Structure 1
Amino acid sequence: MERSRSAFDHWMHKHHFTFRDTRGRNITVQCNLCLPKINILSTARDSTSNLKKHLERKHSVVCRRKIRDTPSSDAPSSDGPSSYGPSILEKETAEPSEAKEAKIDPTIYYQTSQSRLNTLVFNFIVEDVQPISILEQAGFRRLIEILSRGKKVMSQNAFITKLEVVFNKMKGELKVKLDRVKTLCTTADVWSVQDRSYFGMTCHWLEDNLERKSAALACTRIPISYTCETIIAKIQEIHSSYNIESKVQATVTDNGNNFIKAFKEFSSEDDQDVEQSHFEDLGSILCDGEMGGDFFLSYFLPPHQRCASQTLNLIASKDLADAVSKGQTGKLHSSATEKCAAIWHKVQTSTVAADAMESIAKMKFTFPCLNQWSSEYYAINKLISLTDSQLNELTEVLGVPCFTPDETAYLTEYTDVFKPVAFALDLLHGEEKCFLGIVIPTLLTLKRKLEEKAANTRLFSKVIDSTVKAIDSRFKQVFDSSDARLATATMPQFRLWWLPEDERESLRAQLVTEVLQVDQGTEETETNGGSVHEDEFFSYGPGSSSNKGGKREASEEVWLYLQGTNKDLKCLNEFPGVKKVFIKFNTTLPSSVPVQQLFNNGGNIMTPKGHHLSDEHFERVLLLRYNSKITTALE
């Protein structure tokens, strides 16, 4: 019985295949071009798309060669190129390609003005991390001139001129945005590269919809041997240049001694001394410096917030590590981690070893970063996740010592016990959804989980005790901070549930006071300088101003908020006073990671020396790229 006809039967390229069988709605064929390898393919009865894809992927070169060697039956017989038809793939895709080309607006390529071309090239260099020396490269200039039909590529001098114009536009837009912001925080750090040091600063604020916004304020050159007074002057200078001195709720930095010294003397809040830090007489330093004794009278810094993620990383990499090395498990820890390090070194320095690792472990490998405890933890955890047979095979192939059963058991318990520390570090590294109010609950939860682990661990009970004491000691400033406690209380996820009952009433009263203050501040801002209606002047009768926003209303709002159970931030829209307090205190980030990301962009973009940029121009390119999402300067 003959089979029914299919699309394959009248397909122009069926001679490359041999029909084998019919299976329901599909047919199977054998590819003749794959011989001597037997390759059976399946395609729908009413479509040959699978077979076309096979030709495109596997035999496009053969098909094109055969077409070139065989004159097209439709073409006139001549020796010129016109006597040969298009390749199989070219012929079958000709119509779709022509249709696509017809939809492209030719003005994009052929009617671009010189001004528009300059903007596109400028944005290409800034956004895609290109050196400005590309403007003088012959190949790039020829490419642009051909695509733009003869228009010229801007010179490096033209780029520098445009850079100044676009940067001024960006800074103007940013200042307008910051003028409308009531509360913000800044992050600051110092970056050193190629015998140069740069002071970087970013700022962050919350919109009314509680979406976090960020901007870069500076990445300015400072002396390589920078001092405390240099930091103080730069912070004040940058805050003043954007008119935000009175709006900064806190400045977040790492735990470097120069930052600690600066904020200890000039911050509006007292800061606790850092353990093992050496402090010099700041007065004598500044009096001997260029600014003289009047320096004390000129500068005043906002409250200081130390980077919580860096502090916790310090606890894990120093306090926890010291406790492990000094305890009864010290030798076991040392031998086990040395074998881990040997594996990492082999895999990192040898592609053969890396291939062997991926083949045996069936996964990509990660390497620990310097001074990042969590990255070492995850690298160890990944090794220990292998089975004993995989781990033994891996060490044998790499030629490193095998793990003993005691070492494997030790690392397994180590990764289990300190998993909460790694999780807490990840939480505190965030930016968009990470608030100051998350720090205290994270630390309290971490302590509780570690103490629970202590009851079931064989090896780490004393290490856990030391780690918990280090958390209490190094985070004492945060636990005692009124700002941090209010930031936590205004987060619906936590409210006052994290506090002992005997402390809740005191914090509730503080929250009522803050709600009253933010409401009064809003009313003053709206009425100052404007006309006052007669009904607003007299405070008698229902609906009068004396009855609005009073302590009773604030207390009731706070009470209703604290009784709620909705953990979504959106529920704050039902409590406008509490929402304002949330924005005020949770604008502050718990981490200085954003300013470190600014430096990472700087390292990837260019260094002034290597790309013919002055320090000023380098800073402008870096800030333009960082701020491109919140301004229209590059549009």
Structure 2
Amino acid sequence: MGARGDIHSAPRASLNMSAVWRYFSISGTDKKLAICNDCKAQVMRGVEKQHSFNTTNLIVHLKSRHPELHREFLKSKEEKAPAPAKTSMQPLLRSFNKAKAFNSDHPKVKEINKKIIEFIALDNQPFSVVEDAGFRRLMMHLEPRYAMPSRRFFSDVALPELQCSVSNHVEKLLANAAHISFTSDIWTSSVSPVSMLSLTAQWIDEDFTLKKAVLHSQECSGSHTAASIASAFDSMFKKWNISKEMVHVVLRDNARNMAKAMLEFGVPSLPCMVHTLQLAVHEGVLAQRSVADVVAVGRKIVGHFKHSQVASSRLQGVQKELGMQVKRLQQDVATRWNSTFYMMQSLVEQKRALGAYAADYELPATVTANQWAILENMITLLAPFEQLTREISSAEASAADVIPAVVALRRLLSRPTDTDRGVQTAKATLLKAVNDRFHGVQSEPLFSIATMLDARYKDRYFDVDQKRSARDLLLTVLDKMDDGTGSAHTSTEAPLKRRPEQDHCWTCMKKFWRRVAHMESWQIPKQHHR
């Protein structure tokens, strides 16, 4: 064999591991030695054990004895290697970055803070929710790099920023509104003796879409005089840059101070129909001696189960034995007549269960057979009032529903029925209360115009004497709108803005209402009525 016959080639694993073996071979006599292919020098590969062999001495030999070969080796090393080593580091870097917390000014942190304060505001959550263990664990699971700020940050920084953003948006919407309707009330919190004055706005935008927003809710301290309420309204309107000419109507309660305040403030106002119904039912029904007695008995029974867990559990056991659905008796609230209605309903529904309970356990009061009949007849009598209260309390209710609802109630109360036994006096008194409380509702311009323009009602629910007045009022309003002088309640210096393509539609609509208003009778299909 030749001279190279005693020299073994480099192991395949070593060749795969390093390009330096292009310039060296393993000694045939001693595996600890590598032979330089260029100068035939012997270079130690490492210590005695084979698994500790390395190429460090080989590379040093090239660098010190053969610079050109060393540069060639470095170049081939750069071309061949580092992709695997680089990609292997990426998961480690990602894990490190994932464990690193965001800075407070990071865009992700600002977006999460914004969503948390929206959650608190929309769901009426306390600021302390950000300190709750469950909420913090949820946020840590969703985004470990997010550091939860303190509750003070959300109350002093995040909430004012959100309020400013929403306020600016609502102010822009209000600036484009021609006329705005408002609702206002003074109410007292159930958790603290604080009176609050609220102001809510509703308006139609350019696309004829109903918009609404709660503009204000402020403490109403001191005496609730008309002057103080008018002053509060003045400051609220100035804050939102709302002129009195933009006010279509303010819906309020029936309190004299509120009515006088709107008069002093110089804006049109109307009483809330729900509040008027509340007063009518209290005067006409709940104030009657026989009804008041049975309601008082019902309150004692409901209060007994509400304040005794043992009694409530026993009643539930009786309901299960009778195969009835387990339900709690409902307590009423004095300021909400329909809650008294729901209490009477719950008592009648649980009549069998209460009777079985009274056979084994003691009740604070007993409902007689005559009182049960009164309860059942009162539920039948007040059911239309409860349905009407729900309908006119919805967001879709309008002023056009008032006159038809009042006429329907009057007709219903004037008609004798088989369920009048024991409640004839209450029914007659309720009819009188409805007539007194809603006296002159057909002559109110806002209600009459809204009803006339509603295709469901038109003039069907007007008295004979009121039909002509309502039609004349409608023609007057159309003339004022056509001349650009405003509506029945308001006036503006500039004509109403209409797009050129709407002129033909506007002219046709005005001609149609003029023609209809001069007709002797106005018939509409029966199926279109409520």
Matched, 1:188 2:184: yes
Alpha-carbon distance between aligned partners in 1 of 2:334 and 2:163, rounded to the nearest angstrom: 36
Residue correspondence of structure 1 range 287-436 to structure 2 within 5 A = 300-322=265-287, 324-325=288-289, 330=290, 333=291, 335-358=293-316, 359-360=318-319, 361-365=324-328, 366-386=330-350, 389-400=352-363, 401-430=365-394, 432-436=395-399
SS of residue in 2 equivalent to 1:505: helix
Matched, 1:216 2:225: no
Alpha-carbon distance between aligned partners in 2 of 1:183 and 1:381, rounded to the nearest angstrom: 42
Deviation at 1:393, TM superposition (A): 0.7
Deviation at 1:209, TM superposition (A): 6.9
Q: 2:299 touches 2:331 (CA, 8 Å); kept in 1?
A: no
Q: 1:368 touches 1:376 (CA, 8 Å); kept in 2?
A: yes
Q: 2:195 touches 2:219 (CA, 8 Å); kept in 1?
A: yes
Deviation at 1:186, TM superposition (A): 0.9
Alpha-carbon distance between aligned partners in 2 of 1:458 and 1:467, rounded to the nearest angstrom: 15
- Could you tell me which amino acid in structure 2 is paired with residue 252 of structure 1? L
Q: 1:420 touches 1:450 (CA, 8 Å); kept in 2?
A: no
Matched, 1:247 2:206: no
Q: 1:192 touches 1:198 (CA, 8 Å); kept in 2?
A: yes
CA RMSD of aligned residues (A): 3.7
Matched, 1:524 2:523: no
SS of residue in 1 equivalent to 2:459: coil
1:149 aligns with 144
Q: 1:356 touches 1:397 (CA, 8 Å); kept in 2?
A: no
Q: 2:179 touches 2:247 (CA, 8 Å); kept in 1?
A: yes
1:167 aligns with 163
- Could you tell me which amino acid in structure 1 is paired with residue 337 of structure 2? W
Alpha-carbon distance between aligned partners in 1 of 2:147 and 2:353, rounded to the nearest angstrom: 61
Alpha-carbon distance between aligned partners in 2 of 1:407 and 1:140, rounded to the nearest angstrom: 52
Q: 1:255 touches 1:306 (CA, 8 Å); kept in 2?
A: yes
Any idea what the Cα deviations from partners look like across 1:153-208, whole Å, max 9, x if unmatched? 33455432333333222112111212222222111122334343332111112457
- Could you tell me which amino acid in structure 2 is paired with residue 192 of structure 1? T
User: Which of 507, 511, 514 pairs up with 1:555?
Assistant: 514
Q: Which has the larger radius of gyration?
A: 2
Residue correspondence of structure 1 range 483-522 to structure 2 within 5 A = 483-521=446-484
Q: 1:197 touches 1:224 (CA, 8 Å); kept in 2?
A: no
Alpha-carbon distance between aligned partners in 2 of 1:483 and 1:526, rounded to the nearest angstrom: 22
Alpha-carbon distance between aligned partners in 1 of 2:292 and 2:221, rounded to the nearest angstrom: 40
Residue correspondence of structure 1 range 558-597 to structure 2 within 5 A = 564-565=524-525
Q: 2:443 touches 2:466 (CA, 8 Å); kept in 1?
A: no
Matched, 1:128 2:109: no
Q: 1:227 touches 1:258 (CA, 8 Å); kept in 2?
A: yes
SS of residue in 2 equivalent to 1:198: strand
Q: 1:187 touches 1:203 (CA, 8 Å); kept in 2?
A: yes
TM-score (norm 1): 0.56
Any idea what the Cα deviations from partners look like across 1:370-407, whole Å, max 9, x if unmatched? 322222122212322456x4442133355224433222
| Cα distance, 1:225–1:477 mapped onto 2, change above 3 Å | same
Alpha-carbon distance between aligned partners in 1 of 2:354 and 2:498, rounded to the nearest angstrom: 72
Q: 1:206 touches 1:212 (CA, 8 Å); kept in 2?
A: yes
Q: 2:176 touches 2:205 (CA, 8 Å); kept in 1?
A: no
- Could you tell me which amino acid in structure 2 is paired with residue 416 of structure 1? T
SS of residue in 2 equivalent to 1:113: helix
1:633 aligns with none
Deviation at 1:486, TM superposition (A): 1.3
Any idea what the Cα deviations from partners look like across 1:451-478, whole Å, max 9, x if unmatched? 1136862333333222222212222253
1:616 aligns with none
SS of residue in 1 equivalent to 2:275: helix
- Could you tell me which amino acid in structure 1 is paired with residue 269 of structure 2? H
| Cα distance, 1:507–1:405 mapped onto 2, change above 3 Å | same
| Cα distance, 1:503–1:349 mapped onto 2, change above 3 Å | same
Any idea what the Cα deviations from partners look like across 1:198-246, whole Å, max 9, x if unmatched? 3211111245776533201011233244432221012122223223332
Q: 1:454 touches 1:460 (CA, 8 Å); kept in 2?
A: no
Runs of 5+ consecutive residues of structure 2 not aligned to the other structure: 1-97, 487-493
TM-score (norm 2): 0.66
Deviation at 1:412, TM superposition (A): 2.2
Matched, 1:482 2:441: no
Q: 1:112 touches 1:148 (CA, 8 Å); kept in 2?
A: no
Matched, 1:440 2:438: no
Deviation at 1:141, TM superposition (A): 6.0
2:113 aligns with 118
Between 1 and 2, higher relative CO (CA 8 Å, sep ≥ 6) is seen in 1
1:72 aligns with none
Alpha-carbon distance between aligned partners in 2 of 1:445 and 1:470, rounded to the nearest angstrom: 15
| Cα distance, 1:136–1:427 mapped onto 2, change above 3 Å | closer
1:587 aligns with none
Deviation at 1:112, TM superposition (A): 7.3
| Cα distance, 1:145–1:342 mapped onto 2, change above 3 Å | closer
Runs of 5+ consecutive residues of structure 1 not aligned to the other structure: 1-105, 267-299, 533-543, 570-635
Residue correspondence of structure 1 range 84-95 to structure 2 within 5 A = none
Q: 2:481 touches 2:496 (CA, 8 Å); kept in 1?
A: no
Any idea what the Cα deviations from partners look like across 1:59-94, whole Å, max 9, x if unmatched? xxxxxxxxxxxxxxxxxxxxxxxxxxxxxxxxxxxx
Q: 2:109 touches 2:146 (CA, 8 Å); kept in 1?
A: yes
Alpha-carbon distance between aligned partners in 1 of 2:522 and 2:207, rounded to the nearest angstrom: 21
| Cα distance, 1:515–1:562 mapped onto 2, change above 3 Å | farther
1:457 aligns with 420
Any idea what the Cα deviations from partners look like across 1:101-156, whole Å, max 9, x if unmatched? xxxxx9xx999722223223322332333333455678866764675334433345
| Cα distance, 1:375–1:138 mapped onto 2, change above 3 Å | closer
Q: 1:392 touches 1:403 (CA, 8 Å); kept in 2?
A: no
Alpha-carbon distance between aligned partners in 1 of 2:407 and 2:413, rounded to the nearest angstrom: 10
| Cα distance, 1:517–1:553 mapped onto 2, change above 3 Å | farther
Any idea what the Cα deviations from partners look like across 1:401-434, whole Å, max 9, x if unmatched? 443322222322232233333333333322x221
Q: 2:315 touches 2:353 (CA, 8 Å); kept in 1?
A: no
- Could you tell me which amino acid in structure 2 is paired with residue 168 of structure 1? C
SS of residue in 2 equivalent to 1:261: helix
Alpha-carbon distance between aligned partners in 2 of 1:135 and 1:552, rounded to the nearest angstrom: 62
Aligned residue pair count:
405
| Cα distance, 1:196–1:461 mapped onto 2, change above 3 Å | closer
Residue correspondence of structure 1 range 43-58 to structure 2 within 5 A = none
